[in-house]
Amino acid sequence: MKKMIWLAGIILLGWPVAAQETAEAVTQASTDTVSAAVAAQDPAERNKMLYSLGFLLGDNLKRQLVLDNEDDYKALSQGMRDSLLNKPSQTVLDEYKPQIIEKYKQDAQIISQKRAEEQKEYLENFSKEKGVKVLDNGAMIKLSKKGKGRTAKADSKVTVHYEGRLIDGTKFDSSYDRQEPFTTKLTDVIPCWTKAMQQMRPSAKATVVCPADTAYGNRPVGIIPPNSALVFTVEMISIDD
């Protein structure tokens, strides 16, 4: 099987790379320096940072659990609050661990089925848009700018700018954000890219839609859930054999 891109960060490592670099920088700083920086932080900014952390934790939880109503949210948040404040649990935790495990299993199936239905609908609708070309492996491409010159070959090296999103609009990587184009051989990327990049000429721009089996399949990659279709906007900068 062809090697997959963990996207120049996520096509080889975007947000996780930035987080890793930040963690490494903090590790290299002295404890005194870090402590002084935290102590000097404006209280309002600290609250915003902690709110953001809480929001991200909640976002992660909702990708794994089905929470149906306000009572669900209240019970979950109360348990988290009691734990964070070192209060005693209001339940005998060991008694509920089997139910917790079962909920994760059941919810994973529900979420997976819902995602499959949403992606099927998205892929069907995109395939019907004017100008969309469905490639032989199921990947789809819609050129917004044709470009000039020759197209890439299956083993060409290409330099591109790109942005990757899930079908719900969640951005998981962007060379634009890094302000640095991405260079790769087409033998080293996900199958969707290998095929789609061969449809593009220098200066071409396109939307590329990758069904899950042409991307990462059933493997979770960073914030990309398993069995996810991916949507890329791509600008071809150059092609080099």
Read off the pLDDT of residues 224-236 as tens digits, 9 standing for 90 and up. Answer: 988 899 999 999 9
Q: What is the pLDDT of residue 5?
A: 42
Q: What is the pLDDT of residue 196?
A: 97
Q: What is the pLDDT of residue 38?
A: 54
- 223 part of the active site: no
Of 141, 190, 224, 239, which residue is the catalytic one? 190
Of 10, 11, 141, 162, which residue is the catalytic one? 162
How many Å apart are CA 5 and CA 3, to the nearest integer?
7
Please state whether beta strands 171-174 and 157-166 pair in parallel, antiparallel, or not at all (unpaired): antiparallel
Supply 77's token pair.
């948040």
Of 5, 172, 224, 239, which residue is the catalytic one? 172
- Note the CATH architecture for domain 1-64+132-241: Roll (3.10)
- State the DSSP H helix or E strand holding residue 163, giving kind and residue range, or none if neither: strand 157-166
230 within 8 A of 215, measured Cβ to Cβ: yes
Ranges in the chain, pLDDT < 50: 1-31, 34
- 104 part of the active site: no
Q: What is the pLDDT of residue 111?
A: 87
Partners of residue 239 on adjacent β-strands:
158
- 182 part of the active site: no
120 within 8 A of 114, measured Cβ to Cβ: no
Q: What is the pLDDT of residue 40?
A: 61
Q: What is the pLDDT of residue 14?
A: 33
- 232 part of the active site: yes
